[in-house]
Amino acid sequence: MRIPALLASAAGLTIALNGAALGQDRARGLGGTTLTTSRIDPDTGGFRGGSSGYGIPGGLIFRDPRFQNVLLPCDDPQALTTVSQRFAEKEGQFWNSALTIAGFDRIRQVSINPWGRNNIPRIYCSARAHLSDGRVRTVDYAIMEDQSIIGYTWGVEWCVRGLDRGWSFAPNCRMARP
């Protein structure tokens, strides 16, 4: 059991093993560390129902401690430019439309890390987008830490209400909100 733990610690990962994999011994260092907000029960591995239905038997909790919770604000021009460029690309390439976002207003933060500290840090935002056809639509977007194409910097997921033609965030962009 020491070799996988050493390899995981060298890779910068924190791993908690369930009680069956540890032979009923408590995992070292799991008494309320940065891994969780409470203690992990060695018999169930911290999940409801033990290893019988939730998580991966053996290695149940993986958390990358390198997240710094450093995110762009909702009104940052880089994030808004990313949303408008990707919207124009999607409309042009997939829907054969010349529709673009001309500008944003009423930008507001909806939530920060709604599911706790042990998940990928993210900020949920909402704004009004002025489209090139003269309409005004609501854009829901999330700015997430280390979620760019190779995980080097922040990433953005977005949805324009009424224009989610592929139903990626259906119904009506609900899945793009917290």
pLDDT in tens, 74-110: 999 999 999 999 999 999 999 999 999 999 999 999 9
Question: In DSSP terms, which residues pair with 125 in a beta bridge?
Answer: 109, 141
Residues 8 and 88 in one domain: no
Give residue 26's pLDDT. Answer: 40
Helix (H) or strand (E) holding 139: strand 136-144
Instruction: Please give the Cα distance from 140 to 178 (Å, whole number).
Output: 10
pLDDT score, position 13? 44
Q: Tell me: do 104 and 19 sit in the same domain.
A: no
Quote the domain boundaries for residue 130: 77-176
Closest of 131, 111, 125, 104 to residue 173, by C-alpha: 125
The whole-angstrom separation of Cα 41 and Cα 98 is 56
> Do 90 and 24 share a structural domain?
no
CATH number at residue 92: 3.10.450
What pLDDT shows up at residue 71? 87
Average pLDDT over residues 155-168: 93
Instruction: For residues 46-58, give the mean pLDDT.
Output: 46
- Model confidence pLDDT, tens digit, residues 101-137: 999 999 999 999 888 777 888 999 999 999 999 999 9
pLDDT at 103: 96
Is 69 domain-assigned?
no
- Statement to judge: residues 59 and 98 lie in one domain: no
Identify residue 53 by its one-letter amino acid code: G
Could you give the number of structural domains in the chain? 2
- Both 90 and 166 in one domain: the answer is yes
Same domain, 52 and 97: no
pLDDT computed for residue 152 by the predictor? 76
Of 34, 63, 92, which marks where a domain is finished? 63
